[in-house]
Amino acid sequence: METLLGSSTFPAETGSLPEHGRAPDTVLEELRELCRDDHDYAGGTVFNSICSAPLDIARRVFAQHLDANMGDNRVFPSLRRAEADLSAMFGELLGHPGAVGVTTSGGTEANLLVVLAAVRRYHDRHGGSGPARIVLPESAHFSFDKIVGMLPVEPVYAPLDDRLRVRPEELTRLVTADTALVVATAGTSEAGAVDDVPAVAEHTAALGVPLHVDAATGGFLIPFARELGYDLPPFAFDVPGVTSVALDPHKYGGVPIPSGHLLLRDRADAELLRTASHYRGTFDHHGLLGTRPGAAVLAAWAVLRTLGRSGYRELVKEVFTRRDLLLGMLRDAGFTTAMEPQLTVVTVRHPEPARLVDALERRGFIASVARRYGLLRLVVHWHQTAEQLRGLVDAMAAADGP
Ligand code: PLP
């Protein structure tokens, strides 16, 4: 279908609002039909997703608190307490127990808030409403493509090295004392690349330029992998100069969608984001969204307390072990990985990655192509077993054949 937006990916409209309601069992039957093509994470076919099935405790908490609204702290005072507890837990995990935290709907909102704060700070300092310069890696998540389309910013992109990490010396060359914000990524979604945050921070801190770390993907992996002895750089508040971190409990945190968190080193940055509500007794908002599911916040609270640090360490150990298993299987089957993965995304060189991904999809497997790099991309997650990884590699070998 051609639309104003170009070739539409929206499905043709088939639903209609029935004049008379139907029995719940009938509707559930219809719903089963509607969802017939959906994949089940447990089924061993999903190899493109950084999200996974939430823990059982999260499902229970979510279902019990479906009506909880983060936008109404008078009806649901528990949510503010849960948000504060989460901020304290995340702050501790990220090396700054006193960090100020805002729950968000995933990494996109967290990144948006940071850029908004940077623009406001820039305009406060320099006056006017002109574009604020922000420096990002070429690997920045596409949430930033949306953000630069919405806010008055001038994005400048820094090039990458051969493992798809930003080159700190190239990035720092683009940063001046007038730069409103620098972004680094701790775990890109395309390749799991972890930028050298300490090298970037050394320069930004010297200039007094804020440094945001987008750890939406790596936030629940890197701290525990480091505790397990994996060679990964520090990326959070233990690095002087890091001023904010985004992390997503709905990715490797075991928490249901939508769960995101923005952590700020400095309370003054939270002030830049404050919007007073028009109602007496309702607390100021610091996020973008108003009404939003408190169930995800309570579920995050419950999951963190259920797993504890040792529970996450175990999960991370398992997922890194499976990643290494997959790497071995791929090499044995004759595939060439593009680089040593830092986290859980395995990239494979292939002359026609899109053709291979389509062929896999016909066999029921979902993989993806990192389009910017022309690489086949496989995400290892804890919903996959060793046998399922074997199934994927066998399917790749078969799909790649004549
Ligand atoms: N940043 C990074 C590095 C990501 O990997 C993602 C999602 O994959 C996001 C931001 C956006 O997060 P969300 O999809 O939760 O908005």
CB 136 within 8 A of CB 183: yes
Nearest CA to ligand 1 atom 8: 189
Average pLDDT of span 38-65 = 97
Per-residue pLDDT tens for 55-100?
999 999 999 999 999 999 899 999 999 999 999 999 999 999 999 9
Q: What is the pLDDT of residue 2?
A: 47
Per-residue pLDDT tens for 215-235?
999 999 999 999 999 999 999
Cβ burial of 237 (10 Å; 0-12, 13-18, 19+) is buried
Q: Which residues contact 342 (CB under 8 A, 6 or more apart)?
A: 163, 187, 192, 193, 194, 232
Nearest CA to ligand 1 atom 12: 107
Q: What is the pLDDT of residue 15?
A: 72
Q: What is the pLDDT of residue 14?
A: 65
Its ipTM equals: 0.99
Nearest CA to ligand 1 atom 11: 107
Best residue for ligand 1 mutational test, from 139, 183, 214, 292 (most atoms within 8 Å of Cβ):
214
Q: For ligand 1, what atom is nearest to the CA of residue 250?
A: 15
Q: For ligand 1, what atom is nearest to the CA of residue 257?
A: 15
For residue 221, report the distance from its CA to the centre of ligand 1, in Å.
Answer: 14
Ligand 1: lining residues by beta carbon, under 6 Å: 50, 106-108, 111, 141, 143, 185, 188-189, 214, 216-217, 248, 260
Nearest CA to ligand 1 atom 10: 107
Q: How far apart are CA 355 and CA 335, in angstroms?
A: 15
Best residue for ligand 1 mutational test, from 143, 251, 292 (most atoms within 8 Å of Cβ):
143
For residue 51, report the distance from its CA to the centre of ligand 1, in Å.
Answer: 10
Kindly write down the DSSP assignment for every residue of 17-83, as one continuous string: --SS---HHHHHHHHHHHTTTPPPGGGS-B-S-S--PPPHHHHHHHHHTTT-BTT-TTT-HHHHHHH
